[in-house]
Amino acid sequence: MKTIKQKITTVLLVLSLGAAIAQTETNLGIGIRAGDPSGITIKKYFSKNALELNIGRTQLWNRNGWYDNRFDYWYKNKNYGYEDFQYLGYRGSVPLSVQLHYLFQNKISKLGTREVNGLDWYFGIGGQFRYQTYTFDYRYKLQGNNEWFYATGERVTDIDLGVDGVLGLEYKFQNVPLSVFTDVTLFMEVVDSPFIFWYQAGLGIRYNF
């Protein structure tokens, strides 16, 4: 029940933010994005630029081994100094991301010798906020004692804040108010692991007002 309430709250927040960005319904697109992040996408179009908001689940593909390494980093910072310890596993919440990008739209009028309408490529800059909580389970030995002691539910809050560079392609259909898009993003953390880079990508569809 709590998860459903959280999802409803997130949707209402997205719609409120979208309304604030748009101010009017003119040149506004709202849709669904799949990839990293996966969730809701809102785009406000201006004459040659655009403002884009993406909210959803992040870190879909690049977490293999991440929690193992993160445990080592977390444990060393704790300075427990146990005689021995072993990492057993983790449990995590859904990692959430909020991206806000300012985009520069550029029309593509030809593909080879063929003329096209509704096709843009774009690039931009922006920021990203990511949030997740997770818990570590591990066991340890005290000096002079061969017995294993178990620690479960060591809670960690991970907050990442950084800057994005974005490159994408978008096509607006001529006869229906729909557009499809794909993009790639390079995210550089500023908080809490400065100068760590993450690659992200996604595709989606929007309904345009």
- pLDDT tens figures, 43-70: 999 989 999 999 999 987 766 577 888 8
- pLDDT at position 13 is 61
pLDDT on residue 9 = 59
DSSP string, 175-194: SSSEEEEEEEEEEEEEESST
Q: What pLDDT score was predicted for residue 81?
A: 87
Q: Which residues of the chain have pLDDT under 70?
A: 1-26, 62-64
| Alpha-carbon distances of 201 from 89, 161, 184, 198, rounded to whole Å | 28, 18, 4, 10
Assign 3-class secondary structure to 73-84.
HHHHHHCCCCCE
- pLDDT of amino acid 67: 84
- What are the φ/ψ torsions at residue 76 (nearest 5 degrees)? -60, -35
pTM above 0.75, yes or no: yes
pLDDT for the residue 61:
72
At 105-136, the pLDDT tens digits run 999 998 888 899 999 999 999 999 999 999 99
